[in-house]
Amino acid sequence: MVTLPIPKTLDPLATKTKTMKALVYLEPGKKALQDRPIPQLAATTDAIVRVVKTTICGSDLHILKGDVSTCAPGRILGHEGIGTISEIGSGVTQFHVGDRVIISCISSCGKCDNCRKGMYSHCTTGGWILGNEIDGTQAEYVRIPHADTSLYRIPAGADEEALVLLSDILPTGFECGVLNGKVQPGGTVAIVGAGPVGLAALLTAQFYSPAEIISIDLDDNRLAVASRFGATRTINSTDGKAAEKLMAMTGGRGVDTAIEAVGVPDTFLLCQDIVTPGGTIANIGVHGKKVDLHLERLWSQNITLTTRLVDTVTLPMLLRAVQAKKVDPKRLITHHFTLDQIDEAYTAFGNAAKTNALKVIIDA
Amino acid sequence: MVTLPIPKTLDPLATKTKTMKALVYLEPGKKALQDRPIPQLAATTDAIVRVVKTTICGSDLHILKGDVSTCAPGRILGHEGIGTISEIGSGVTQFHVGDRVIISCISSCGKCDNCRKGMYSHCTTGGWILGNEIDGTQAEYVRIPHADTSLYRIPAGADEEALVLLSDILPTGFECGVLNGKVQPGGTVAIVGAGPVGLAALLTAQFYSPAEIISIDLDDNRLAVASRFGATRTINSTDGKAAEKLMAMTGGRGVDTAIEAVGVPDTFLLCQDIVTPGGTIANIGVHGKKVDLHLERLWSQNITLTTRLVDTVTLPMLLRAVQAKKVDPKRLITHHFTLDQIDEAYTAFGNAAKTNALKVIIDA
Amino acid sequence: MVTLPIPKTLDPLATKTKTMKALVYLEPGKKALQDRPIPQLAATTDAIVRVVKTTICGSDLHILKGDVSTCAPGRILGHEGIGTISEIGSGVTQFHVGDRVIISCISSCGKCDNCRKGMYSHCTTGGWILGNEIDGTQAEYVRIPHADTSLYRIPAGADEEALVLLSDILPTGFECGVLNGKVQPGGTVAIVGAGPVGLAALLTAQFYSPAEIISIDLDDNRLAVASRFGATRTINSTDGKAAEKLMAMTGGRGVDTAIEAVGVPDTFLLCQDIVTPGGTIANIGVHGKKVDLHLERLWSQNITLTTRLVDTVTLPMLLRAVQAKKVDPKRLITHHFTLDQIDEAYTAFGNAAKTNALKVIIDA
Amino acid sequence: MVTLPIPKTLDPLATKTKTMKALVYLEPGKKALQDRPIPQLAATTDAIVRVVKTTICGSDLHILKGDVSTCAPGRILGHEGIGTISEIGSGVTQFHVGDRVIISCISSCGKCDNCRKGMYSHCTTGGWILGNEIDGTQAEYVRIPHADTSLYRIPAGADEEALVLLSDILPTGFECGVLNGKVQPGGTVAIVGAGPVGLAALLTAQFYSPAEIISIDLDDNRLAVASRFGATRTINSTDGKAAEKLMAMTGGRGVDTAIEAVGVPDTFLLCQDIVTPGGTIANIGVHGKKVDLHLERLWSQNITLTTRLVDTVTLPMLLRAVQAKKVDPKRLITHHFTLDQIDEAYTAFGNAAKTNALKVIIDA
């Protein structure tokens, strides 16, 4: 029953060219598409993946602002994508060279205590390291540590572009927002923020058939998208009256689940104002500063509040759901670029209010 | 299968005397033992209970400070106790006159949506009303609304004094701290606060056999009590270094469960500093002001934070556990008084640092 | 906070006519539409409901075969329906005369241990008694014990016909099949039996967005209905090869959830043959005899097997889901009759293979 | 963050001697202590463990009877034990040569779908293979596949003999009986069978502080042991009246949890007779033939029935509980032998009714 060693062949192209294009973080505010050496295997459990499609995440913008202290200048950015395995270490048993794979944004060893309880985000030798502590996916090639437990095989005939969204954003909306928020059939959900991650939560919340999904945002265009994606009602919160409006909509009851998908004190406060006794606030937002928690009101309200860095533990389930057409993550894709155009891609993604960009696909 | 009406007889003593002694809240800082009319049935689902033993709760002190806006002057205090049913309304089917009962601090109609999902604390016509919105148990008699679903029969031969602790404090420690905190065999628990409710959490946490229970308090005497009650380690937090000490004790890992049993910003902050990724902060404390929540750190730590007003939904289970000698709530009882001595009882309870009082029993 | 008594007025029509039409079980094989006295309140917690619409259940056929020993000759049949409250006892606080209500097939006192843990089916003074141990709903009027916790208010503007299905069949499929079967997004479900209850499970399984729902039956017509209702695949099991076919469909893996919706040894055996290691067999079927359980194979297969008499504890949630158009129970309705035509209704329902009847609505 | 390769040195003794003593299954009814080659690494993820202590399991007796078709003649028996790592493959990252380890009876790759959901027993390249499909631990050395995820480090200073019981029997009683049986504080538990595995369930059920644990067996000596180990009551079932006695003990209610720890039709039937509505039957027993399941009674009783091959997913938790002195598995050890005396050990273990053997320790 022990798996036999699998022949490992090198990608001839990789061997020949030796260098590749890669988007490199230089210093706060600065990045450049550079020629870099093609990555090499560093451990027997590594794989090298020829990136086929990648995308840009809000976290990449955070890094570029200089907000992510673990990411050093010189780092190749990116933690999402699909590709083809070009080389594997001798300890990789689940994949072969040539396999088409989804790259999880979270590297997981599968062996440490946290991995064994499904909390891959806190893997003691992994977690969110790609495009952060080690070089990432906005390049022609990427080295993936712990390949057996950090890559996922793409089924034959799948729509690969859709699967780029399984690297990070769809599991993030689903795990941090929907699962942690205990969305249930017949329940009432508010999603604060209709950016890409809020919309990913909106798409995946519908797995559980809640009676109401109320999308809240400052931007009418995004709210229109939310309506098309399945929000039953929307609230533009520009006037600061979102809580009053929501309470009126729900007959004064509030929501069973409030999903925070922005990451600033005001939106977190709004969640506290609209959650019903016994309900849940599920935080997805990446917060840059502390927030007020009104325990002088909430101590007696039987509230649950959760935080989570995505584990991507649901990636196989989401893949089955995509294949079964229960969710279409491609609805999040608004723009397409090539790796040569990645500066334009960042511009489009970084100016979403003007460009209406949600997720941009980059062909590497 | 429909229950037949049960003969309802009046308590002859009650009928004769017509008045009773009761401790009345007069204004912030003032209370008095007064003669008051014996309460009458006000609805068919009410019962009148002759109080046999009652006790004082931290909430009573809050009311006396004027902190509880729902409690009007003139209110008879108290929401805990055991007694004998002296009169029942025609709609009461589960009890007879003469039954010995535990009075839940939470009145529950058993019919509203919240009651039907076990969240009695938010009963639309009940919740914490005793000794708050309606007259309470620090008196010779008390009217209990929704008697069928707010009283619990005392088994023959039970140690009744122990059962006074089932009205509020034991379920509070257990439901808000232990259950919400998901205490598990082999887990590590910190309980911040070794007052009565922290100790109730300590006693009931042991139902689940955690590997470590670390009690944290400012008072060495209380920590000594905690050790006797089953804490595996203690930390005196007077020097402001409780977090460092705890992290050292746990090899830098922190705790799976941090139970907040004080209710001030500092102790809540401590919980944030000691909870391990994937862990739970279970708040029991009654907070008077907002607290800082450090989402800039915690957003990625997969934390769950819970609040809860006790539901007493576990009261029957706790009663079975007491009867089976799996927990001895009497360990919380330090002083005894009569109703005539209730001023002394408040003095002893309110000066716990000097008197070492935990729970005081008052014979009514 | 205590609810005040509500004025109780009698239905003038009921008072005048004094008798009503009702379908009475006479002896095995025999029933008759008879004139019977309009029921009277027997306890303060009763309500009398003027039945507006009722239906026939497989259990009614069981009674008529003489298979249900608790149902004595002379009993008015029926445990489903909607209607208008014509009279309430003095202890009823949640409803008024004139309210439109759904009648749960399960009477629940809301007070006993089983009710308080949500297992209404085993209420010590209720459970399935309607049309079984007490007179039922296939009549112009019915007495409902424990009215506050056994009736559910119909929202204004609701499609009442759809709500007849909430009395029993929809919660039965959902609670016994879908919830007990732990149907999950991305999962694989088999439903053995495409009669009304199997189809109710099929409709409500879709709340959880499983990747596959495979419907298995002997009747191609029913399988065609299952396909229209959302089954992703169907298997006609007439040739005895359903297990082989299903294993081929699932790549040899079997299903996460096997729902037994027939109630005979063969279909229960089939569930054992198709459940994957770690999966669940959820029994809905009413079995008349013991079955073989192949523990010599299953002991090591990490299987969960559940049984359940519907509790209708999810009735409020299902009502919200119907109102939110997340499920349309009317798809189960194939025929309409008046109470005068109830014999024809039984004939149509009892010969479903010919008539293609699923649920028949009877206007009372 | 990628782990560096660890120097791998060979055990000089192993290299020198080249052969070892091992207990080999020859044919039904026959076994022999033979000289066998010391096992070699066969995959980079293997470890070779110098066995220090092992034990005998009921499954070993099943193999010797010829009941386990996957175990071929020539196989070295045994799947339990502790030892010292003497050699590791180049892909092993969690252990070093010289580490003291507990050997799980279940080999787990940590990578397949079943392992990633914690169902190691159904690992696609592991599961129960030791001493069954590959050579086992009743020898001086054993090869452990998937070493990183199938071995567990022994803490410094631990009582190693106690930890032999963590290979199989303690997790089996705990996972298959206690966890699957949902043992809860205040609950009532029956354990049918007071052999080693029933006693392991008894010891670990106490993690959850049930109010009653009723042990049922045919042998008064075993029942006396059960009483010493924490059973609150015992029933000798020799007279065939165990169900009546238990129902009398529980006031006609039955038990919340019935744990089957024998594996024959009669004991499984008993569980069906004593489980209360809403309760759970947790099967541990290894059954050789099908059983009757009385669905004609149980269909409406809201019962859950579970089966499970131990996953040893709780081994780390049990280790913490042992270290914290929350359970003492050494109470199960009755006899000690050396590997040379292993025939006597089998005789003692196989004749438990006479020898009162529970678990026997063999020093290898």
Concatenated DSSP letters for D19-54? EEEEEEEEETTEEEEEEEEPP---STT-EEEEEEEE
- Subunits touching A (CB < 8 Å, at least 3 pairs)? B, C, D
Please name the residues in contact with B211: beta carbons below 8 A apart, sequence gap of 6 or more. Answer: B185, B186, B187, B188, B232, D320, D321, D323, D324, D326
With an 8 Å Cβ cutoff, are B94 and C116 in contact? Answer: no
- Mark A83-95 as b/e (b = at least 16 C-beta within 10 Å): bbbbbbbbbbbbb
pLDDT at A16: 57
Query: Residue B83 pairs with which residues in a beta bridge?
Result: B51, B101
pLDDT at C3: 43
With an 8 Å Cβ cutoff, are A320 and C211 in contact? Answer: yes
CA B283, B289, B292 angle in degrees (round to 5)?
70
Nearest to C296 among D119, D290, D293 (CB): D290
Average pLDDT of the segment spanning C116-123: 97
3-class SS of residue B35: strand
First to last CA, chain C: 39
d(CA D228, CA A229): 63
The pLDDT mean for chain D works out to 95
| Interface probe with B: pick from D175, D212, D320, D328, most Cβ of B within 10 Å | D320
Chain A residues bordering chain B (beta-carbon distance below 8 Å): 114, 117, 119, 121-122, 263, 268, 277-278, 283, 285-296, 298-309, 311
Question: Quick one: C1 exposed, middle or buried, by C-beta within 10 A (0-12, 13-18, 19+)?
Answer: middle
Residue C228 predicted with pLDDT over 50: yes
Nearest to C324 among A184, A208, A212 (CB): A212
Number of Cβ atoms within 10 Å of the Cβ of D29 = 8
With an 8 Å Cβ cutoff, are D326 and B185 in contact? Answer: yes
Phi, psi of D296 (to 5 degrees): -65, -20
Residues of chain B positioned with their CB less than 8 A from the CB of C42: 2
With an 8 Å Cβ cutoff, are A90 and D44 in contact? Answer: yes
With an 8 Å Cβ cutoff, are C302 and D119 in contact? Answer: yes
Residue B4 predicted with pLDDT over 70: no
Nearest to C122 among D122, D277, D288 (CB): D277
Residue bearing tokens 């699967």: A163
Between the alpha carbon of residue B301 and those of residues A59, A168, D12, the distances in Å are: 16, 17, 46
Q: Where are the alpha helices (DSSP H) in chain D?
A: 12-17, 58-65, 113-116, 160-163, 169-171, 196-205, 220-229, 242-249, 265-274, 295-298, 315-323, 342-350, 352-355
Residues of chain D positioned with their CB less than 8 A from the CB of C286: 299-300
Nearest to B320 among D207, D211, D232 (CB): D211
Nearest to A296 among B287, B293, B311 (CB): B287
The two beta strands, D212-217 and D233-236, are parallel
Residue C346 predicted with pLDDT over 50: yes
Chain B residues bordering chain D (beta-carbon distance below 8 Å): 184-186, 206-212, 232, 316-321, 323-324, 326-327
Q: Which two tokens stand for residue D171?
A: 């997790």
- C40 Cα to chain D: minimum distance (Å): 30
pLDDT digits 0-9 by tens, B286-324: 999 999 999 999 999 999 999 999 999 999 999 999 999
For residue C75, what pLDDT band results from cuts at 50, 70 and 90?
A: very high
Nearest to B1 among C2, C113, C126 (CB): C126
Q: How many residues comprise chain B?
A: 364
Residues of chain B positioned with their CB less than 8 A from the CB of D186: 316-321, 324, 326
d(CA D140, CA A68): 52
d(CA C52, CA C61): 22
- Mark A184-194 as b/e (b = at least 16 C-beta within 10 Å): bbbbbbbbbbb
Please report the beta strands in C104-176, taking only residues with DSSP state E, as ranges in sequence order.
141-144, 151-153
**Chain-centroid distance, C-alpha C176:** 10
Phi, psi of A308 (to 5 degrees): -170, 135
With an 8 Å Cβ cutoff, are D326 and B211 in contact? Answer: yes
- B211 Cα to chain D: minimum distance (Å): 5
Residue bearing tokens 């129970």: C329
User: pTM for the complete prediction?
Assistant: 0.95
- Search chain C and give the residue with CA nearest B1: C125
Domain regions of chain A by residue span: 12-168+312-363, 171-306
With an 8 Å Cβ cutoff, are D2 and A113 in contact? Answer: no
- C319 Cα to chain B: minimum distance (Å): 13
With pLDDT > 70 as the criterion, what percentage of chain D qualifies? 95
pLDDT at D2: 41
- C63 Cα to chain D: minimum distance (Å): 15
Q: Which two tokens stand for residue A74?
A: 């010189």
The pLDDT mean for chain C works out to 95
d(CA C131, CA C144): 11
Q: Which two tokens stand for residue B169?
A: 């404090």
Q: Which two tokens stand for residue C262?
A: 């027939």
d(CA A192, CA A242): 10
First to last CA, chain D: 38
Residue B2 predicted with pLDDT over 50: no
Are A109 and A125 contacting, i.e. CB atoms less than 8 angstroms apart?
A: yes
With an 8 Å Cβ cutoff, are D207 and B208 in contact? Answer: yes
Number of Cβ atoms within 10 Å of the Cβ of B34 = 15
d(CA D364, CA D55): 10
Question: Quick one: C160 exposed, middle or buried, by C-beta within 10 A (0-12, 13-18, 19+)?
Answer: middle
With an 8 Å Cβ cutoff, are C2 and B94 in contact? Answer: no
With pLDDT > 90 as the criterion, what percentage of chain B qualifies? 95
Residue C10 predicted with pLDDT over 70: no
- Would you say the C-alpha torsion D34, D35, D40, D46 has a positive or negative sign? positive
- Would you say the C-alpha torsion A101, A103, A109, A110 has a positive or negative sign? negative
Q: Which two tokens stand for residue D48?
A: 């070779």
Per CATH, domain A171-306 is 3.30.420.40: no
Residues of chain C positioned with their CB less than 8 A from the CB of A171: none
d(CA D97, CA D101): 11
Q: For residue B261, which of B332, B178, B193 has the smallest C-alpha distance?
A: B193
Angle between helices B342-350 and B58-65 (to 10 degrees): 100
With an 8 Å Cβ cutoff, are B1 and C133 in contact? Answer: yes
With an 8 Å Cβ cutoff, are B43 and C3 in contact? Answer: yes
Q: For residue D48, which of D76, D8, D21 has the smallest C-alpha distance?
A: D8
Per CATH, domain A12-168+312-363 is 3.90.180.10: yes
With an 8 Å Cβ cutoff, are D185 and B211 in contact? Answer: no
Average pLDDT of the segment spanning B245-261: 98
Q: For residue C197, which of C270, C262, C120 has the smallest C-alpha distance?
A: C262
Nearest to B278 among A122, A300, A305 (CB): A122
pLDDT at D151: 98
- Give the up-direction half-sphere exposure of residue B74: CA atoms within 13 A in the CB hemisphere: 4
Average pLDDT of the segment spanning D288-294: 97
Residue B113 predicted with pLDDT over 70: yes
Nearest to B122 among A292, A302, A307 (CB): A302
Q: Which helix (H) or strand (E) holds B100?
A: strand B100-103
Residues of chain A positioned with their CB less than 8 A from the CB of B301: 307, 309
Chain C residues bordering chain B (beta-carbon distance below 8 Å): 1-3, 5, 42-46, 90-91, 93-94, 109-111, 113, 115-116, 118, 125-126, 129, 133-134, 145, 148-149, 313, 316
- A206 Cα to chain C: minimum distance (Å): 8
Q: For residue A49, which of A3, A110, A104 has the smallest C-alpha distance?
A: A104
Q: For residue A318, which of C144, D328, C209, D196 has the smallest C-alpha distance?
A: C209
Residue bearing tokens 């942690």: A180
- Would you say the C-alpha torsion D243, D249, D251, D253 has a positive or negative sign? negative
d(CA D271, CA C283): 18
Average pLDDT of the segment spanning D2-13: 45
With an 8 Å Cβ cutoff, are A44 and D90 in contact? Answer: yes
For residue D16, what pLDDT band results from cuts at 50, 70 and 90?
A: low
pLDDT at D3: 43
Between the alpha carbon of residue D150 and those of residues A1, D116, D127, D167, the distances in Å are: 15, 14, 10, 10
Q: Which two tokens stand for residue B195?
A: 């007052």
Please name the residues in contact with D16: beta carbons below 8 A apart, sequence gap of 6 or more. Answer: none
Residues of chain C positioned with their CB less than 8 A from the CB of D264: none
- Search chain C and give the residue with CA nearest A208: C208
With an 8 Å Cβ cutoff, are B324 and D186 in contact? Answer: yes
Are D190 and D209 contacting, i.e. CB atoms less than 8 angstroms apart?
A: no
pLDDT digits 0-9 by tens, B48-74: 999 999 999 999 999 999 999 999 999
d(CA B193, CA B197): 8
With pLDDT > 70 as the criterion, what percentage of chain B qualifies? 95
With an 8 Å Cβ cutoff, are C307 and D301 in contact? Answer: yes
With an 8 Å Cβ cutoff, are A110 and D149 in contact? Answer: yes
Nearest to B129 among C1, C46, C110 (CB): C1
With an 8 Å Cβ cutoff, are C1 and B133 in contact? Answer: yes
Tell me which residues of chain A have a pLDDT lower than 50. Answer: 1-10, 12, 14
Q: Which two tokens stand for residue D250?
A: 């529980």
ipTM value of the model?
A: 0.94
d(CA A308, CA A311): 8
Q: For residue C324, which of A26, A212, A208 has the smallest C-alpha distance?
A: A212
Residue C343 predicted with pLDDT over 60: yes
**Chain-centroid distance, C-alpha A70:** 18
Residues of chain D positioned with their CB less than 8 A from the CB of C288: 296
With an 8 Å Cβ cutoff, are A287 and B299 in contact? Answer: yes
pLDDT at C121: 98
Nearest to A296 among B277, B288, B298 (CB): B288
3-class SS of residue B226: helix
Q: Which two tokens stand for residue D278?
A: 């809403």
Nearest to C111 among B110, B129, B313 (CB): B110
- B11 Cα to chain A: minimum distance (Å): 37
pLDDT digits 0-9 by tens, D240-281: 999 999 999 999 999 999 999 999 999 999 999 999 999 999
- Search chain D and give the residue with CA nearest C285: D299
| Single-letter code of the amino acid located at C64 | L
